[in-house]
Every structure is written in C-alpha cells, then in structure tokens.
Structure 1
C-alpha cells in the first residue's frame, strides 16, 4: 500500500495538537486492527457512536480506513453468502488513506478531503504513527465556531433530495443508498418530512440487512422527529445544529413549505472552502489583534 504524507516538514507536535484539538479539528480514533472481524467493527462503531475510523497495524501505523457506509455496502453486496463474523476488516477497508501533519491548516485539510475524496484524514507523527484523525464533522464544527452571517443554506445545500416513502422496504432503501453513494435518505410523505434513515440506523441492523427479502419497512427503523432549516438560514447556524445534535445532515424547507434540499457536513466543507470565508476570518483576526 502506498501511503501519502502531507506537510511532513511542518510538524509542531504537542503545541499544535493542543491548539487544533481545542478547535475540534483533531479527534481521537477508535482502534481497529486489520484482523478484527466485521461483526466486531460494526458493534463497536454502534456502541461508541463512531461513524468512521482508521485501521492500524501492530506498529501503530495506519493501513486503511473503515466507515459505516463501507460495512453496509459490503454486507448488502455479499448477501447471505458469508456471515460477517468470518469477514476481516482488511477485506473491507479502503487502503488509499492519506496521512497529514498535526500542524495542518483546517482549510488545507478540507481541500485534501474533497480533492482526494477521502472519508477522513489520518494525523501522523514524524515516525508515521497515527495520533488522531480529522473527519468532515470536525471541520464543520470549526466553521460553525468561527463564521457567522456570511453564507446562506440555500446557496450550498444539495438539491434535489433523494426521498423515500415510509412504507418502502428496507432492502430497497439500502439499495438506493448504495447506488446513489449516499449516507442518508429523507423519508417524505404527504408533503411532510417523516424522518431520515442513515447508515448509522442501518448499522444497528447490520447482521440482518443481508436478508433482502426481510419484510421490514423504512418506518420501522427510521429516525423520526427530524429538525429542518429554512433555505434563507445562516449556513453557520445549520452547522451548529448538526454539531449540537451530532448529526450530519438536515432537510431544508423552502418558502412554500416544501422540501427543497438537504444540507450536510460535506456542503459545509464546500462553503468553508470559499475564498470569502478565508477573507472573513483574516479580517476578524486583523480587527481583534489591533485591540
């Protein structure tokens, strides 16, 4: 496996880790090994409420990444052919991970995540050992804490929204998620958002989603009581809502009261990468430092 390293010459180890961790940029990671079973990985992700993590070897070096979506995709595609207690993490993990320095700039981290289409970044020390990870939620939280009143939800939301009915079979919902490469579906009926179904919801059912003929409807497993935002709302407000509720997407309602889009942590990252945000933060820093 070829591992890429970024900013290796810009290490400011403990001081920078403390600063960035305080801002929510770097987080601890759940320890997964290549030879752990997929059943173990899915259970621990549910118990620890972990959406994704790196896989490390016996030396502490990262060798891959594993996400809830990876697990769902594998189980559904394999069907009933293999029990997941016999599948190793090494068979499912992505091996094209990217390692970055602890001193990486938040905007550069966002750029790498988008350009390299990575689910996360492994934060590594000079010896190549993993000391943390950066995921989109961390950068979304950074945006929420630093920016206010600059961008509107409607300008960055994803639209149109892929929706399903509450009566849709669970197997069909999983199939749509996989085919569209999505992490969530909005459950919509009678002009109202009824709920959402996410990979997190499905991970609770990991051992049974391989049974494609299972007579379970979306309404039985979806997350109800979904919060929504207006398209005219401040993007930072949406990011703060996602941070406080520990969710990664919020349906967006238009002026007509109809579903017009969905805003996710990925959309927040796109907003964050706009040059107006860098200019905004630079001007704030210049203003506050002059007093």
Structure 2
C-alpha cells in the first residue's frame, strides 16, 4: 500500500503518562478517565521506562493472584522493553516496528525524552487521508476469528484473550455475531445483566462508579466463574460487509472509538478487521 505522505509528524500526539511508583488502581483510573488503551511510564527524572496497556491489566489478574491490588505498583507489571522511534522516521517504519514486535503503539523520543506516541488508531486515520489505492475489507481481514458463545464462562474468554494475545473476542450464535468483548471489559468486569435489569438504579450507579475494585475480587480468578460472556459483552456489535471498502471500516472504527469490527457475508460471520490488519497492510 502506498501513502501520499509517509511522514510520522502528521500522527504524533501527546501521551497521557503515569509514574512507575503509582499503584495499579491509580493507573487504572487514568486509563478509564482519559479513555486510552495505553499509558507510557516515566521515572522520577521524566524519562520513559515502560508502558502499560489494557492487556497488562488482564495479565495482572493471573500474575498477582492473591496479592492485594492496592499493593501492586505500575513498575511491577509494566512492559519494560520499550520500542521507540524518532521524528525523522516514516509511517512505514512505524508500522513495521508494530508488526515485528506485535505491539499497538510506538513511543517517539527526542533527546531521550518522550516527544509523543503513535498508536494503531493514528495509523488507521492516516489510511483515510493518505491511502493512494482502494482496498476491500476481504483483502486484508483476518479470516480465523476467535469466538465464544454467549453462555461461555468469562474464565474461557479471559484465557483466550491471554493465550492468543488478542484484544477482542466475537460472541457468536448460529454463526452470527451477537456481541463483542474486549480487554477493557475486564477493568473491572461489568456487572451481570440480571443486576443491571432488576437492581435499584442507585445501587447500579454505586457498583459502576466504585473506584476500588476489591468488591469485584479483581485479583482472584474465582470472581469470573459466575460470569458469562453475555454478562459483559457489548451486544449488537457494529459490523461491516466483506465487500465494503476498508476506508468505510476505518471510518466506523474511528467514529465509534473501537479497534475492530466483525465482518459478515450474508449476515454470517466470515472474519474480523482490526487496526492491526490496517497496520499490516501499510507495512
């Protein structure tokens, strides 16, 4: 795929950061408040020393099982192998780094200081304005889709996310997409559907806004045994047709703030297109 303007300066943006001494709970609040998928980590000298993503929060459930969440620090579970780039690099350079290291963002450095961040969302936006050739969704979509059924346990969902190193799972019934679950749905797990439907509205609000997830037993695997995929999935997911243009899929993703779309053909699930597929196409 050719781009009209390959410079990365058009996609560099300021990053929301945390310090390595913050707790998991504090970092979680930053993630949710700013609605971002990743947080570069700075040390006391303001130098980047790591990065944490939504996937890291999911993995932390396994790694720190039994440890009180208020005791877990950012430095305990952040990714320390930083992949960085400089301002004179190209978008293709950036996408190839993402592909090679299987990451969703690259930090931009200037004199060893954080100058910004480039994410797959930024790369996808470039496709809309800089792509020099049209592409169909079926040309770049991932055909082997990891799926679950609505009644499957969250233990299965979580294990599939970790095992396959993916960010979302399609919930399907009779080969039709009926929901989608992402890593963000585990920070912490949403309340069961029966509580949402029948509980007192004030209790529901208290449950949803409680800043301390201890009541969800966030760091104990047993808490998800009573939940099913349908309890936390986003129902009626937005889909695209396999014959649609990739530009249409990108526009839908950006407008809805999502990273992937189930692909259908005659209403039946036939694939999934994500920002990773777009990065791969450009690389």
The TM-score, its normalising length taken from structure 2, stands at 0.83
Aligned-pair CA distance for 1:98 = 2.1
Aligned counterparts, 1:56-205, within 5 A: 56-79=42-65, 81-126=66-111, 128-147=112-131, 150-205=134-189
Measured in 2, the distance between the counterparts of 1:118 and 1:167 equals 31
- Conservation of the 8 A alpha-carbon contact between 2:61 and 2:221: no
Check 1:105–1:148 CA distance in 2 against 1; reply closer, same or farther (3 A cut). closer
Higher RCO structure (Cα 8 Å, ≥6 apart): 2
Q: Distance in 2 between matches of 1:20 and 1:148?
A: 17
Question: Residue deviations 1:93-148, cap 9 Å, x none?
Answer: 1111122212321111111111233332111112x111211111111111122227
Secondary structure at the aligned position of 1:213 is classed as: helix
Is 2:257 the counterpart of 1:271? no
* Compared CA separation, residues 155 and 87, structure 1 to 2 (3 A): same
> Structure 2: 5+ residue runs without aligned partners?
1-6, 190-212
CA contact (8 A) 2:67 2:219 kept: no
Cα deviations across residues 204-229 of structure 1 (Å, max 9, x unaligned)? 33753433333111211111231111
Name the counterpart of 1:248: 259
Tell me, in whole angstroms, the C-alpha distance in 2 between the residues paired with 1:251 and 1:265.
12
CA contact (8 A) 2:51 2:78 kept: yes
Residues 13, 116 of structure 2: 8 Å contact kept: yes
Taking the aligned partners of 2:239 and 2:132, their CA distance within structure 1 comes to: 19
Deviation of the 1:20 alpha carbon: 5.2
CA contact (8 A) 2:56 2:78 kept: yes
Q: Tell me the distance in 1 between the aligned counterparts of 2:174 and 2:64.
A: 35
Distance 2:13 2:234 in 1: 26
* CA–CA distance in structure 1, aligned partners of residues 239 and 116 of structure 2: 32
* 8 Å Cα contact 1:67-1:119 kept in structure 2: no
How far apart in 1 are the matches of 2:72 and 2:243?
A: 46
State how far apart, in whole Å, the 2-side matches of 1:160 and 1:95 are. 31
- The total of aligned residue pairs comes to 250
Instruction: State which drifts further: 244-253 or 204-213.
Output: 204-213
Counterpart CA distance in 2 for 1:258 and 1:110 is 31
Runs of 4+ off more than 6 Å = none
Kindly indicate whether residue 229 of structure 2 is the aligned counterpart of residue 218 of structure 1: yes
1:32: which partner in 2? 18
Structure 1: give runs of 5+ residues left out of the alignment. 1-18, 274-291
Q: Distance in 2 between matches of 1:260 and 1:148?
A: 27
SS of 2:186's equivalent?
A: helix
1:34–1:89 contact (8 Å) kept in structure 2? yes
Contact 1:151–1:271 under 8 Å retained in 2: no
Instruction: Give the distance between the partners of 1:221 and 1:64, measured in 2 at CA.
Output: 30
Q: Which residue is 2:250 aligned to?
A: 239
Counterpart Cα distance in 2 of 1:193 and 1:119? 25
TM-score normalised to structure 1 length: 0.80
Partner deviation per Cα, 1:245-278 (whole Å, 9 max, x = no partner): 1110000012x431010000000111122xxxxx
